[in-house]
C-alpha cells in the first residue's frame, strides 16, 4: 500500500478488507461531459484514483451522460486528457452510463411490474406543488394508482416517442410524506427528443442521475461509491433502488466535503458563462480554475496531487485558502524548474571597454541545487539588456533599499562580470534609451578588486543573441474572496488586472529550444511556462505561473 494520508475513507476500506467484505477495491470517477473539469474535480480524481492505487485496486472512468442536450464530445476528450495529465489511468475501457440504457430500461419496467413506479401526467409546475416543502408533506399524484398494465403501456408509448416532451414522466412510488424530499416519488425517466452522442436516436427517454448512478455502480462492481456531501441526502434513494432492483452487486455510497477555494468559481454553469461572454479566451484560459487552464498556466500535475493531499479528505465543509495551492506550486517548481534569465522590460546596456563584435560564453547551472541537470550557456556581447527597474540615476538611494545598478556604481551581472554604470543616453522625452557601462576585468566567478563593492546581482541577456518573446502576466481572475456568493453578480468582482501582455521581452536562447509546457524559473521574476498551444522556437510565448513570493495579500 502506498504511503498516503489516512482519512475516514481509508478507515472504512481497511475495515472492509479486514472483515473480508471485499477482495478488491473498485472505485469510479463519474463526470458529466457538460464542461471542462475544474480544481474541485481534480480533488475527486486524486481521491478516487488514489484510493484505487493505494489498495492495488481499480478505478473506472464512467461518463454520466444522461443529459444529451448539454453534452459534447469535446468535453469527453478533454476529461480523458485531464485525468491522464494528472498521472492516472482508468481500468479497462472508458465507460458510459449510456451503455447501460437497455438494462436501466429493464430495471424501470421491473419497478413498474412490482407496482413501485408509475407514469405521471402532472406538469412540472403541478409536480412542484404536489411535492410539498421541507416543512410540509407532499401529496399523492392523481396518477399514482394507475394499474401496472396501464403504466407499462404508457411507459412503452413514452419510449416510442408518442408523447411530447414534458407531457409525462416515470416516477418511483416511494413516500410523498417522507421528510427526505428525494424520496417523494422521484423521477426515473423524462422525455427528451434529442440525439445522444453515444446512442444516436435510439432513445427519446433518458434516465435521471439518481436512477442511473447506483445501478451503474452495481453493474460495474463498484465497492466504494464516493460522492461529495451534497449527495448525502440522495443516499437513501441510492439504497432504495439497489434494494428494490435485481442488481448484481450492492455498492455503498460515502460522502466527503467538496473542495471550496477562495477567490475561485467552480460552478460549470458560471465558468461556461465566462467562456460564452468572452471574459476569458476559452475553457483552458490560464486564469480559469479548470484543470486544462491550470495546466496551460504551468501548474505541475504533481503540485495539484500534493495540494489534494494537503487539503485532506473529511466530512467538514470549509473554504481552502488559494495560498495553499500557490505554496504547493512553488514547492514543486522550485525543485524541478530549470532556471533562465528573461528581461521583461528591457533597457539597453552598451559595454564601452569591449569591442563591438565581442563574444563570450558564460556558464550557469540549469538548477542551482541539481548538478545532474547540467549547465546552460549564456552568450555575452557588447550590447546587453537589463530590466529597466534594475537601474536608477538617483545616486542618493541607499544600498539597503536599492540593491541594483545606480549611475556611477557597480553591480554584478548574474554568472558574469561586475559592471559599472558610467553614463546614460536619453531621448527627447527624457526616457533613458541606453546605459553606458564598463566591465571590471577578471570578475567572472571571482570577487572584484578591493574597493569595488557591487550593490547586488541582476539578471541580463545579450541584446543580439537573445530571443524576443511574448510574456503574459496572469493574476487572479476575481478580486473578491467569494465572487459567486451574495447579491452581487460575479462579473462585478472581475479583477481588471488579471492579464497583462508584454510583447517585447528578451530571453536567453537555450530556453526557447525546450518543448512546449516546459516550466522555468525566470531568475528574480517568477515561474513561467512555454505556452502549450501558441509557442514556437521562432516566436516563443510564455505564461506566468506564479511569482517567487506571495504578493497578493499586499495588493488587496
Q: Which grid cell is 227?
A: 460522492
Please give the average per-residue pLDDT across 232-243, as a whole number.
98
Q: Pick from 425, 446, 465: which residue ends a domain?
A: 465
Give the Cα separation of 155 and 153 in Å (integer).
5
Q: How many domains does the chain have?
A: 3
For residue 490, give the DSSP letter: G
Please give the average per-residue pLDDT across 340-351, as a whole number.
98
Candidates 109, 157, 258, 414; catalytic one: 258
Candidates 4, 32, 481, 534; catalytic one: 32
261 in any annotated domain: no
198 shares its domain with 330: no
128 shares its domain with 170: yes
φ, ψ for residue 54, nearest 5 deg: -60, -35
455 shares its domain with 482: no
Give the Cα separation of 158 and 168 in Å (integer).
8
Summarize pLDDT for 383-396 with one digit per residue, the tens.
999 999 999 999 99
Contact 287, 62 (CB under 8 A): no
86 shares its domain with 230: yes
H-helix or E-strand spanning residue 326: helix 322-336
> Quick check: 552 pLDDT over 80?
no
Helices (H) and strands (E) in the chain, counts: 13, 27
173 shares its domain with 275: no
291 shares its domain with 248: no
Q: What is the CATH number of the domain that holds 47?
A: 3.40.50.620
Alpha-helical segments (H) within 357-397? none
1 in any annotated domain: no
> Quick check: 554 pLDDT over 50?
no
258 is catalytic: yes
Please report which confidence band the pLDDT of residue 2 belongs to, taking 50, 70 and 90 as the band edges: low
Candidates 95, 173, 252, 268; catalytic one: 268
Q: Pick from 465, 492, 521: which residue ends a domain?
A: 465
Please report which confidence band the pLDDT of residue 556 belongs to, taking 50, 70 and 90 as the band edges: very low
377 shares its domain with 458: yes
153 shares its domain with 192: yes
pLDDT at 1: 42
3 in any annotated domain: no
Contact 90, 60 (CB under 8 A): yes
> Quick check: 88 pLDDT over 70?
yes
Contact 52, 59 (CB under 8 A): yes
534 is catalytic: no
119 shares its domain with 145: yes
304 shares its domain with 392: no
Summarize pLDDT for 109-138 with one digit per residue, the tens.
999 999 999 999 999 999 999 999 999 999
- Domain containing 382: what range? 340-465
Summarize pLDDT for 469-494 with one digit per residue, the tens.
999 999 999 999 999 887 789 999 99
74 shares its domain with 170: yes
pLDDT at 551: 63
238 in any annotated domain: yes
192 is catalytic: no
Average pLDDT in the chain: 96
pLDDT at 3: 64
Half-sphere exposure of 430 (CA within 13 A, CB side): 1
Summarize pLDDT for 278-337 with one digit per residue, the tens.
999 999 999 999 999 999 999 999 999 999 999 999 999 899 999 999 999 999 999 999
308 in any annotated domain: yes
pLDDT at 141: 98
pTM above 0.75, yes or no: yes
* Percent of the chain's residues with pLDDT above 90: 96
Summarize pLDDT for 134-183 with one digit per residue, the tens.
999 999 999 999 999 999 999 999 999 999 999 999 999 999 999 999 99
Q: What is the CATH number of the domain that holds 320?
A: 2.40.240.10
171 shares its domain with 130: yes
Q: Which grid cell is 95?
A: 465507460
pLDDT at 549: 87
Contact 38, 291 (CB under 8 A): yes
Q: Pick from 415, 430, 465: which residue ends a domain?
A: 465
520 in any annotated domain: yes
Q: Which grid cell is 378?
A: 549564456
Summarize pLDDT for 96-106 with one digit per residue, the tens.
999 999 999 99
263 in any annotated domain: no
* Percent of the chain's residues with pLDDT above 70: 98
Summarize pLDDT for 238-254 with one digit per residue, the tens.
999 999 999 999 999 99
Alpha-carbon dihedral angle through residues 378, 384, 386, 391, given to the nearest 10 degrees: 140
> Quick check: 85 pLDDT over 80?
yes
Q: CA separation (Å) from 401 to 387, 457, 554?
A: 17, 14, 18
Contact 190, 109 (CB under 8 A): no
Please report which confidence band the pLDDT of residue 550 belongs to, taking 50, 70 and 90 as the band edges: confident
Amino acid at each position: 500500500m502506498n504511503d498516503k494520508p489516512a482519512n475516514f475513507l481509508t478507515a472504512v476500506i481497511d475495515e472492509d478488507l479486514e472483515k473480508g467484505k471485499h477482495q478488491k477495491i473498485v472505485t469510479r470517477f463519474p463526470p458529466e461531459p457538460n464542461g471542462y473539469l475544474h480544481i474541485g474535480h481534480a480533488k475527486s480524481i486524486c481521491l478516487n484514483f488514489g484510493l484505487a492505487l493505494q489498495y492495488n485496486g481499480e478505478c473506472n472512468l464512467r461518463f454520466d451522460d444522461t443529459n444529451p442536450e448539454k453534452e459534447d464530445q469535446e468535453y469527453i476528450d478533454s476529461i480523458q486528457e485531464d485525468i491522464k495529465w494528472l498521472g492516472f489511468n482508468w481500468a479497462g475501457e472508458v465507460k458510459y452510463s449510456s451503455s447501460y440504457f437497455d438494462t436501466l430500461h429493464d430495471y424501470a419496467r421491473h419497478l413498474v411490474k412490482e407496482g413501485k413506479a408509475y407514469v405521471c401526467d402532472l406538469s412540472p409546475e403541478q409536480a412542484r406543488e404536489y411535492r410539498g416543502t421541507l416543512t410540509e408533506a407532499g401529496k399523492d399524484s392523481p396518477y399514482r394508482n394507475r394499474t401496472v398494465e396501464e403504466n407499462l403501456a404508457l411507459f412503452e408509448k413514452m419510449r416510442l416517442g408518442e408523447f411530447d416532451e414534458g407531457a409525462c414522466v416515470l416516477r418511483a412510488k416511494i413516500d410523498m410524506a417522507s421528510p427526505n424530499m428525494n424520496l417523494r416519488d422521484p423521477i426515473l425517466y423524462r422525455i427528451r427528443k434529442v440525439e445522444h452522442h453515444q446512442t444516436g436516436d435510439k432513445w427519446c427517454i433518458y434516465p435521471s442521475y439518481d436512477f442511473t448512478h447506483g445501478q451503474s455502480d452495481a453493474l460495474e462492481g463498484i465497492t466504494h461509491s464516493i460522492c461529495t456531501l451534497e449527495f448525502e441526502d440522495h443516499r437513501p434513494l441510492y439504497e432504495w433502488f439497489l434494494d428494490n432492483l435485481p442488481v448484481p452487486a450492492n455498492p455503498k455510497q460515502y460522502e466527503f466535503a467538496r473542495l471550496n477555494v477562495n477567490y475561485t468559481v467552480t460552478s460549470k454553469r458560471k465558468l461556461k458563462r465566462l467562456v460564452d461572454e468572452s471574459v476569458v479566451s476559452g475553457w483552458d484560459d490560464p486564469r480559469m480554475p479548470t484543470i486544462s487552464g491550470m495546466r496551460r498556466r504551468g501548474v505541475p500535475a504533481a503540485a495539484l496531487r500534493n495540494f489534494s493531499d494537503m487539503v485532506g479528505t473529511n466530512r467538514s465543509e470549509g473554504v481552502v485558502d488559494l495560498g495553499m495551492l500557490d505554496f504547493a506550486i512553488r514547492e514543486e517548481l522550485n525543485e524541478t524548474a530549470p532556471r533562465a534569465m528573461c528581461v521583461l522590460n528591457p533597457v539597453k546596456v552598451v559595454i564601452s571597454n569591449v569591442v563591438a563584435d565581442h563574444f563570450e560564453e558564460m556558464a550557469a547551472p540549469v538548477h542551482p541545487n541539481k548538478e545532474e541537470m547540467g549547465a546552460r550557456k549564456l552568450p555575452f556581447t557588447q550590447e546587453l539588456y537589463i530590466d529597466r527597474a534594475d537601474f536608477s540615476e538617483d545616486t542618493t538611494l541607499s544600498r539597503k533599499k536599492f540593491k541594483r545598478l545606480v549611475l556611477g556604481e557597480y553591480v554584478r551581472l548574474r554568472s558574469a562580470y561586475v559592471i559599472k554604470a558610467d553614463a546614460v543616453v536619453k531621448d527627447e522625452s527624457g526616457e533613458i534609451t541606453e546605459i553606458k557601462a564598463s566591465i571590471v576585468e577578471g570578475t567572472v566567478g571571482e570577487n572584484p578588486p578591493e574597493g569595488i563593492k557591487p550593490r547586488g546581482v541582476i539578471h541580463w541577456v545579450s541584446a543580439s543573441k537573445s530571443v524576443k518573446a511574448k510574456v503574459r502576466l496572469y493574476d487572479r481572475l476575481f478580486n473578491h474572496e467569494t465572487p459567486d456568493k451574495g447579491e452581487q453578480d460575479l462579473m462585478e468582482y472581475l479583477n481588471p488586472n488579471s492579464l497583462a501582455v508584454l510583447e517585447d521581452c528578451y530571453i536567453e536562447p537555450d530556453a526557447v529550444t525546450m518543448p512546449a509546457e516546459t516550466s522555468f524559473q525566470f531568475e528574480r521574476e517568477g515561474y513561467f511556462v512555454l505556452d502549450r498551444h501558441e509557442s514556437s522556437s521562432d516566436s516563443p510565448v510564455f505564461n506566468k505561473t506564479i511569482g517567487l513570493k506571495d504578493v497578493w495579500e499586499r495588493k488587496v
